[in-house]
């Protein structure tokens, strides 16, 4: 049935019935037991994401007639018909340009599950919005256009989704109607894409499924189709219905970040927060981090009465059997399975600010309910998301993804992201612009006081020896000025390198080795440039101050 006819049929009543759509009785019951699945959708522009979501909403009776009427005759499907994509493309700019700029959230329900869809944009410049959508999803649908196969964008999205730890990935091979529902087309896409996922190694999602669909006609979206007898698997909605709604959670080691201390009177002192993992009961022993104080749970307090148990991700208030000094930002954990308190860790970063990462700068790092100052001390590599190649890099630019070393001023209590997406994640905020600069996922932690036993030399070791971090500084001025600058730095013990010509690779290698790489242009004006920072300098002292202000040079002259 052509789509326009299908929608015009809305004229006739379409009562909800038990079955594929909603269950009337479950909506009416006070003890409704539906659970919740958050999923994101991703794909290249025009692969049919918006149409697919429109189709899911439409076929599960989740859109109202006036919403359908408001898109009549608009969009790309021509006069007198309905472009289902317009049900989700909400912003004016999007309707004008016919593309999706930002994440749109959509909701629908079936008899036993509520769904939250994060419909994410396909364009590369909106990668950060895609990461936003994927960060809370427990399932991701990645669309592939059957005619075009696996594209750069498809691989990009697959990589980001996996990086953000989405455990279930469902590849919807769309527009099967345009390839005569050909099994070969579907199979070859599956082979190619599976090979790509296998390359992800540790990051490969534990559950990967493929389903052939047509968003436009509805084949295999909600209902199984007869158009592809060679496919005997579930429809897309059936997959969504049966996927695990949340990761483990309740059976993992207890994690609870204190958001707020509640002291309504002298007799009550409660710690309010949301359980990040595990289950807790009155009497359970707990450990407070980073202070390492111990106590036991006295009660689990809620507005609806005390609970005999609570599990992730409930929001509760805990009282303890002892007077323990606890404040916002502390983590209450199961003592036998504590998280790691550390100032140093390795993390994947998705760089989200148009201003590139600056190694010398302090950022604000927000982790659970704690915000601290932190620096990115080194970039290990940049990930080429469509080929999964690791490229040497000295910084991360807008939409780059890489692995970096982070150093925080105060200790953070963390888990690896692969263990816990709440205690393993953080954001970096630019303290000047207040913009969210990066999303971080902790991959490795260095346990404080237990230095790693390898003999590898770290960026920190090098900085301690030379008195500066590895950087590229460019100067303008007379040759005499640059010579004087180089000599001053040399006398301070700096590892100064002043090459005549320089490739990006050599520069990266020198910086990784901890060198202060000086390049210069002869000019009447004396200036110094470091990353985006540029300043006029009247003499060499000025230059030294600039380098100290940007935390490149540390302390006084070295002997």
Partner 1 sequence: MALAAPALTHLQLLEAESIHILREVASEFERPVMLYSIGKDSSVMLRLAQKAFYPAPIPFPLLHIDTGFKFREMIEFRDRMAAAVGAELLVWRNEPAIAAGTNPIALDTKRCCGLLKTQALLDGLNHYGFNAAFGGARRDEEKSRAKERIYSFRDKAGQWDPKNQRPELWNLYNSRIHPGESIRVFPLSNWTEMDVWQYILQEDIPIVDLYFAKDRPMYVREDSLLPIEQSFVARPGEQPRMVRSRLRSLGCSPCTGAIRSDADTLPKIIAELLSFRSSERANRAIDHDQEGSMELKKREGYF
Residues 212-241 touching ligand GDP, rule: CB under 6 A, are 214-216
Signed CA dihedral, 162, 166, 169, 174: sign only: negative
The residue among 171 and 352 lying less far from partner 1, judged by its C-beta, is 352
Q: Does 88 bind partner 1 (CB under 8 A)?
A: yes
Size of the site for partner 1 (CB under 8 A): 86
Contact 289/415 with Cβ under 8 angstroms?
no
What does 311 interact with, of ligand GDP, partner 1, Mg ion, none (CB < 5 to 8 A by kind)? partner 1
The least distance separating ligand GDP from the CB of residue 388, rounded to whole angstroms, comes to 23
The least distance separating ligand GDP from the CB of residue 156, rounded to whole angstroms, comes to 14
The least distance separating ligand GDP from the CB of residue 105, rounded to whole angstroms, comes to 15
Q: Which positions from 48 through 67 interact with ligand GDP, judged by CB under 6 A? A: 48-51
Q: Does 51 bind Mg ion (CB under 5 A)?
A: no
Piece of the chain touching ligand GDP by CB under 6 A; list 24-32, 47-55, 475-483, 505-513:
47-55
The first and second tokens of residue 471, run together, are: 């950087």
| Interface with partner 1 (CB under 8 A), residue from 55, 106, 157, 375 | 106
The residue among 51 and 420 lying less far from Mg ion, judged by its C-beta, is 51
| Interface with ligand GDP (CB under 6 A), residue from 9, 25, 70, 76 | 76
Q: Prior bond to 539 cis, omega within 30?
A: no
The least distance separating ligand GDP from the CB of residue 374, rounded to whole angstroms, comes to 37
What does 174 interact with, of Mg ion, ligand GDP, partner 1, none (CB < 5 to 8 A by kind)? ligand GDP
146-160 CB burial, b ≥16 within 10 A, e <16: beeebbebbbbbbbb
What does 229 interact with, of ligand GDP, Mg ion, partner 1, none (CB < 5 to 8 A by kind)? none
- The phi, psi pair for 192, rounded to 5°, reads -65, -45
| Residue 150, CA atoms < 13 Å, CB-side half-sphere | 21
Question: DSSP assignment of 466-490, as one string?
Answer: HSB--EEEEEEE-HHHHHHHHHHHH
Contact 481/543 with Cβ under 8 angstroms?
no
- Rounded Cα distance between 163 and 1, Å, is 40
What does 216 interact with, of ligand GDP, partner 1, Mg ion, none (CB < 5 to 8 A by kind)? ligand GDP
The least distance separating ligand GDP from the CB of residue 410, rounded to whole angstroms, comes to 44
- Rounded Cα distance between 277 and 421, Å, is 10
Q: Does 361 bind ligand GDP (CB under 6 A)?
A: no
Signed CA dihedral, 88, 94, 95, 100: sign only: negative
Q: Among 291, 352, 346, 347, which residue's Cα sits nearest to residue 322?
A: 291
Q: Does 174 bind ligand GDP (CB under 6 A)?
A: yes
The residue among 120 and 317 lying less far from ligand GDP, judged by its C-beta, is 120
Q: Does 247 bind ligand GDP (CB under 6 A)?
A: no
Site string for ligand GDP, 98-117 (x = CB under 6 A): --x-----------------
Instruction: Work out the number of other CB atoms within 10 angstroms of the CB of residue 86.
Output: 23
Question: DSSP assignment of 316-334, as one string?
Answer: EEEEESS-----TT-EEE-
- Rounded Cα distance between 296 and 287, Å, is 8
Size of the site for ligand GDP (CB under 6 A): 20
Q: Prior bond to 366 cis, omega within 30?
A: no
Question: DSSP assignment of 266-310, as one string?
Answer: TTEEEEEEEEEESEE-TT-EEEEETTTEEEEEEEEE-TT--BS-E
Q: Which positions from 294 through 353 interact with partner 1, judged by CB under 8 A? A: 301-304, 309, 311, 313-315, 317, 328, 352
Instruction: Work out the number of other CB atoms within 10 angstroms of the CB of residue 331.
Output: 28
Contact 91/98 with Cβ under 8 angstroms?
no
Angle (CA) 444 446 448, round 5° = 155
Contact 255/338 with Cβ under 8 angstroms?
no
The residue among 85 and 287 lying less far from ligand GDP, judged by its C-beta, is 85
The residue among 216 and 518 lying less far from ligand GDP, judged by its C-beta, is 216
| Interface with partner 1 (CB under 8 A), residue from 218, 278, 402, 477 | 278
Q: Angle between the 152-163 and 183-199 helix axes, to the nearest 10 degrees?
A: 50
| Interface with ligand GDP (CB under 6 A), residue from 47, 252, 358, 405 | 47
The residue among 138 and 214 lying less far from ligand GDP, judged by its C-beta, is 214
- Identify the helix (H) or strand (E) that includes residue 536: strand 533-536
Q: Does 100 bind Mg ion (CB under 5 A)?
A: yes
Q: Does 251 bind partner 1 (CB under 8 A)?
A: yes
Tell me the helix, strand and coil percentages in the chain, rounded to 5: 25, 35, 40
| Residue 333, CA atoms < 13 Å, CB-side half-sphere | 23
Q: Does 43 bind ligand GDP (CB under 6 A)?
A: yes
The residue among 303 and 322 lying less far from partner 1, judged by its C-beta, is 303
| Interface with partner 1 (CB under 8 A), residue from 4, 20, 45, 95 | 95
The least distance separating partner 1 from the CB of residue 409, rounded to whole angstroms, comes to 17
First to last CA, the chain: 83
The residue among 51 and 168 lying less far from ligand GDP, judged by its C-beta, is 51
| Interface with ligand GDP (CB under 6 A), residue from 6, 8, 16, 45 | 45
Q: Does 44 bind Mg ion (CB under 5 A)?
A: no
Give contact residues for ligand GDP (rule: CB under 6 A).
43, 45-51, 76-77, 85, 100, 122, 174-175, 177-178, 214-216
């Amino acid at each position: 049935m052509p789509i326009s006819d299908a929608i015009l049929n809305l004229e006739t009543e379409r009562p909800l019935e038990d079955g594929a759509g909603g269950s009337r009785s479950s909506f009416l019951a006070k003890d409704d037991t539906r659970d919740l699945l958050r999923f994101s959708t991703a794909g290249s522009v025009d692969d049919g994401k918006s149409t697919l979501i429109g189709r899911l909403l439409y076929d599960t009776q989740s859109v109202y007639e006036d919403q359908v009427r408001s898109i009549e005759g608009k969009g790309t499907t021509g006069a007198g018909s309905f472009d289902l994509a317009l049900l989700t493309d909400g912003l004016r700019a999007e309707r004008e340009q016919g593309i999706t700029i930002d994440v749109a959230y959509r909701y629908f329900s079936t008899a036993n599950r509520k769904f939250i869809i994060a419909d994410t944009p396909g364009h590369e410049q909106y990668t950060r919005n895609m990461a936003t959508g994927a960060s809370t999803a427990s399932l991701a649908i990645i669309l592939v256009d059957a005619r075009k196969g696996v594209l750069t964008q498809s691989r990009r999205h697959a990589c980001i989704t996996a990086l953000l730890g989405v455990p279930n990935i469902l590849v919807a091979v769309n527009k099967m109607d345009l390839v005569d529902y050909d099994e070969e087309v579907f199979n070859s896409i599956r082979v190619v894409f599976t090979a790509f996922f296998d390359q992800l190694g540790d990051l490969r999602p534990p559950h990967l499924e493929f389903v052939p669909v047509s968003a436009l006609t509805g084949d295999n979206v909600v209902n199984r189709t007869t158009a592809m007898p060679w496919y005997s698997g579930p429809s897309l909605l059936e997959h969504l219905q049966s996927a695990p709604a949340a990761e483990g959670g309740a059976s993992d080691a207890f994690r609870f970040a204190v958001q707020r201390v509640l002291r309504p009177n002298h007799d009550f002192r409660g710690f309010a927060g949301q359980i990040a993992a595990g289950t807790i009961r009155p009497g359970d022993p707990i450990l407070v981090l980073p202070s390492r104080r111990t106590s036991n749970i006295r009660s689990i307090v809620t507005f609806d009465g005390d609970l005999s148990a609570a599990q992730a991700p409930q929001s509760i208030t805990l009282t303890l059997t002892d007077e323990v000094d606890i404040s916002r930002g502390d983590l209450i954990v199961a003592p036998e399975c504590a998280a790691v308190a550390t100032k140093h860790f390795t993390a994947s970063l998705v760089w989200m600010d148009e201003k590139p990462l600056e190694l010398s700068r302090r950022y604000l790092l927000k982790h659970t309910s704690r915000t601290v100052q932190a620096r990115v001390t080194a970039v290990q590599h940049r990930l080429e998301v469509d080929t999964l190649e690791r490229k040497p890099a000295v910084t991360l630019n807008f939409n780059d993804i890489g692995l970096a070393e982070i150093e925080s001023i105060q200790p953070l209590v963390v888990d690896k992201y692969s263990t816990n997406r709440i205690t393993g994640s953080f954001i970096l905020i630019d303290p000047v612009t207040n913009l969210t600069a990066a999303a971080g996922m902790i991959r490795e932690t260095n346990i404080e006081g237990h230095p790693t036993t390898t003999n590898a030399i770290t960026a920190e070791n090098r900085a301690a020896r030379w008195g500066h971090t590895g950087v590229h500084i460019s100067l303008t001025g007379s040759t005499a000025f640059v010579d004087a600058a180089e000599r001053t730095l040399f006398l301070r013990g700096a590892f100064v390198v002043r090459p005549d010509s320089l490739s990006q690779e050599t520069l990266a290698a020198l910086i990784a080795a901890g060198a202060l790489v000086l390049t210069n242009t002869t000019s009447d004006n004396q200036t110094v440039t470091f990353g985006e920072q540029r300043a006029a300098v009247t003499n060499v002292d000025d230059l030294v101050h600039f380098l100290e202000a940007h935390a490149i040079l540390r302390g006084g002259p070295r002997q």
